[in-house]
Chain A
Amino acid sequence: MIDTRRQFLVKGSVAVGGVLVGGNLLAACGDDDDDDSGNGGGASTTRINLGLNWVKDADFAGFYVAIDRGFYADEGVELNLISGGPNAPESVQMVASGTANVGISTDLLQIFDTIEKGTPLVMIGAKYQESPAGLASLPDNPVRTAQDMVGKKIGGPQGDQRFFDAVLAVNDLEPGDYEFVPTGFDPEPLANGDVDALSVFVINQPLTLKRQGVETVAVTYSEMGLASYANILYAERDFINSNRDAVVGFLRGTVKGWEVQNASPEVGARLTVEEFGKDLGLNLEDEIEESKAGIPLMESDLTEEKGIFWMSAEELGGPMYDGLRASGRENLPPVDEVLDLSLIEDAYGGKTSLT
């Protein structure tokens, strides 16, 4: 039913466009696919534009380390980072528009919503095995479960309601059964008591509050029943097919960079503060602390067995798909259409560590 209407709409608007700008119709018929812009570099170097989902803070420290140490250059890859952030396009839009070749997304919902709109994204690896996205609250009025959210004032940036609703739905509670307060990314409203709970990255704002002497209870959405990878690497199918070696090289460099970073977090934190994110006014100690806090979330039984950035088709197709369905995403594509593990497999080449 919906399909038919969409087809009607598409045909209709093509007709309207064609009538009004007849010239463009013919010109656009010779439409060539220039998704393969990644081949633009030198003779043996492939340039990959990586669209980030946030400003260049220590959340991407491993990428900085890999660039700094030449791990990408060793693979014939020139990695160019495109900053994201509250006023930048979403990384899925950077990839869909061709501005970026590979993207990093904070959440699965965004990736599947983009796929549903007709952009064939394929996931190739994930930094966080458990998403650091979650809620922080004060110890005298804690939110630890989905049930605790009901009726509470929950703050966060506009749009984060999608996480709250998904957590409630996956726990058989009523989506929307809370009062949303649009507080942005600032953790102060929790300390001031303007909200009962705040949408946060558990490795970020709770640490900021702690430095100000405010203790918080932090819980991830995964712990509340909405399992999700985060900082997921993905690209369009066409780009992967025509630049396979470069994408494998990119993954190999990325894994090496993060192995170095996790072994000594101050290396990447220093690169963040002094070079890649030097305009952001970041503090070295804070970035080290955040980097250290993120390491446990990058590790799981799977990464223990196979290495970091691995993903599991069973996890994705099981609990994570359950969460997506509970939040109203019907008609999910088969897992092997949206997840390609052959690239990370080739990147590791049978090893479990690359450094």
Chain B
Amino acid sequence: MSVLRRVGEALFLLLIFVGGWAAWAELGDVEEVVVPPPLDVVDDLASNPGVYLDALGSTALLATIGLAGGIACGATMAALAWRSRLLSAVISPTAVFAHAVPIVALIPVVARVLGFNNLTVVVIVVIMSFFPSFVFIGAGLRAVPPASSELFAALGAPPRQRLFRLAIPSAVPGAVAALRIAATASLIIAVVVESIIGTAGLGKVFMESYLNLRLERAWGVALLIIVLSMTVFGLTSRLESSVAQRFR
């Protein structure tokens, strides 16, 4: 479980991947307009770090804001649904409905209302990423240990105290699990929306380079997205396991 060993494993996998790609691109019967040689991609990454970093920064910012908004929305909705049966009957079907709308249908509608800009990207990330928080935090709120619940009732604790001292702590592991699921999803959703209506970011750069057949850049962006998703997933998974231990 040593960090060194895990880094070693990751590097080994990367080498196999890049080596196989190089062999395929150079020795197989593959044209450069279909698969760019890896060194062209590395060369483009190394010679134009500004292009990639700008795009990365823009996408990371929008995805993070969208994710924060999504978790806040999901948590608020879960708390309201927990508090009142009536609100629950309104919120739950709405949440499921919003979650079920395909992203391709959502993009033109939101873009028409809010414009072809970053706000649209953020709003779509919020809409697509609130659901795990709503479900997991909601489950956590309702999963308070019965003994504690009886104690709070016996001592006559008001609903506010029950929420903050009992239900919310019980929902923390769920919130972290929701973060792990929603974080990578937010990133991918931001990229997809940018590729269609974005004016900056990894998705826009990918789409533009791909359509102009600048495949070394398109693949460079794709690599960056993969590395970024894996990093986000690794970090949030770690957070989840340490939180799970503490709240056990």
**Distance in Å from the Cβ of A102 to the closest Cβ of chain B?**
16
Contact B15 A20 (CB under 8 A): yes
Bound-complex Cα distance A159 to B215 (A): 13
Contact B213 A10 (CB under 8 A): no
Contacts of B30 in A (CB 8 A): 97
Contact A13 B37 (CB under 8 A): yes
Encode contact with A along B92-121: 1 for CB under 8 Å, 0 otherwise. 000000000000000010011001100000
Q: In chain A, what residue has the closest Cβ to B27? A: A28
Contact A118 B211 (CB under 8 A): no
Q: Which of B176-184, B191-199, B227-235 contacts A (4 or more CB under 8 A)?
A: B191-199
Q: Decide yes or no whether A113 CB sits under 8 A from chain B.
A: yes
Contact B23 A24 (CB under 8 A): yes
Q: Of A17, A24, A114, which is in contact with the most chain B CB atoms at under 10 Å from its CB?
A: A17
**Distance in Å from the Cβ of B195 to the closest Cβ of chain A?**
7
Size of chain A's interface in residues, with CB distance under 8 A? 46
Contact A16 B34 (CB under 8 A): no
Contact B196 A114 (CB under 8 A): no
Q: Decide yes or no whether B22 CB sits under 8 A from chain A.
A: yes
Contact A159 B31 (CB under 8 A): no
Contact B29 A20 (CB under 8 A): no
Contacts of A114 in B (CB 8 A): 33, 213
**Distance in Å from the Cβ of B76 to the closest Cβ of chain A?**
32
Encode contact with A along B32-65: 1 for CB under 8 Å, 0 otherwise. 1110011110010000000000000000000000
Interface residues of A in 146-189 (CB under 8 A from B): 155, 157-159, 161-162, 180-184, 186, 188-189
Bound-complex Cα distance A17 to B23 (A): 5
Contact B22 A158 (CB under 8 A): no
Q: Decide yes or no whether A222 CB sits under 8 A from chain B.
A: no
Contact A21 B20 (CB under 8 A): yes
| Contact A184-B196, Cβ < 8 Å, known A17-B27, A192-B112, A194-B116 | yes
Contact B22 A13 (CB under 8 A): yes
Q: Is the interface of A mostly helix, strand, loop or mixed?
A: helix
Contact A194 B197 (CB under 8 A): no
Contact A182 B199 (CB under 8 A): yes
Q: Is the interface of B mostly helix, strand, loop or mixed?
A: helix
Contacts of B197 in A (CB 8 A): 182-184
Contact B33 A21 (CB under 8 A): no
Bound-complex Cα distance A93 to B212 (A): 12
Contact A20 B16 (CB under 8 A): yes
**Distance in Å from the Cβ of B198 to the closest Cβ of chain A?**
6
| Contact A10-B26, Cβ < 8 Å, known A17-B19, A114-B213, A158-B208 | yes
Contact A158 B31 (CB under 8 A): no
Q: Decide yes or no whether B217 CB sits under 8 A from chain A.
A: no
Contacts of A118 in B (CB 8 A): 31-33
Encode contact with B along A82-117: 1 for CB under 8 Å, 0 otherwise. 000000001011001110000000000010011001
Contact A186 B38 (CB under 8 A): no
Bound-complex Cα distance A29 to B23 (A): 11
| Contact A96-B27, Cβ < 8 Å, known A19-B19, A21-B20 | no
Q: Decide yes or no whether B73 CB sits under 8 A from chain A.
A: no
Contact B37 A9 (CB under 8 A): yes
Contacts of B195 in A (CB 8 A): 158
Contacts of A140 in B (CB 8 A): none
Q: Decide yes or no whether A25 CB sits under 8 A from chain B.
A: yes
Q: Decide yes or no whether B207 CB sits under 8 A from chain A.
A: yes
Contacts of B213 in A (CB 8 A): 90, 92, 110, 113-114, 117
| Contact A158-B15, Cβ < 8 Å, known A13-B22, A119-B33 | no
Contacts of A13 in B (CB 8 A): 22, 25-26, 37-39
B31's partner among A21, A119, A188 (CB-CB below 8 A) is: A119
Q: Decide yes or no whether B223 CB sits under 8 A from chain A.
A: no
Q: Decide yes or no whether A3 CB sits under 8 A from chain B.
A: no
Apart from A96-B31, A184-B196, what are 9 other A-B pairs with CB-CB below 8 Å?
Answer: A13-B39, A14-B26, A14-B27, A16-B19, A17-B26, A18-B23, A24-B23, A28-B27, A31-B27
Enumerate chain B interface residues (CB-CB to A < 8 A).
15-16, 18-20, 22-34, 37-40, 43, 108, 111-112, 115-116, 195-199, 204, 207-208, 210-213, 215
Enumerate chain A interface residues (CB-CB to B < 8 A).
9-10, 12-14, 16-21, 24-25, 28-29, 31, 33-34, 90, 92-93, 96-98, 110, 113-114, 117-119, 155, 157-159, 161-162, 180-184, 186, 188-189, 192, 194
Question: 8 closest Cβ contacts across the A-B interface?
Answer: A20-B19, A159-B211, A17-B23, A17-B22, A28-B27, A96-B31, A158-B207, A13-B39
A-B contact pairs, 28 of them (CB 8 A): A9-B37, A10-B37, A10-B39, A12-B39, A13-B37, A13-B38, A13-B39, A17-B20, A17-B24, A17-B26, A18-B27, A20-B18, A20-B22, A24-B23, A28-B23, A93-B34, A97-B30, A110-B213, A113-B213, A119-B33, A159-B210, A182-B199, A182-B204, A183-B111, A184-B108, A184-B196, A192-B112, A194-B116
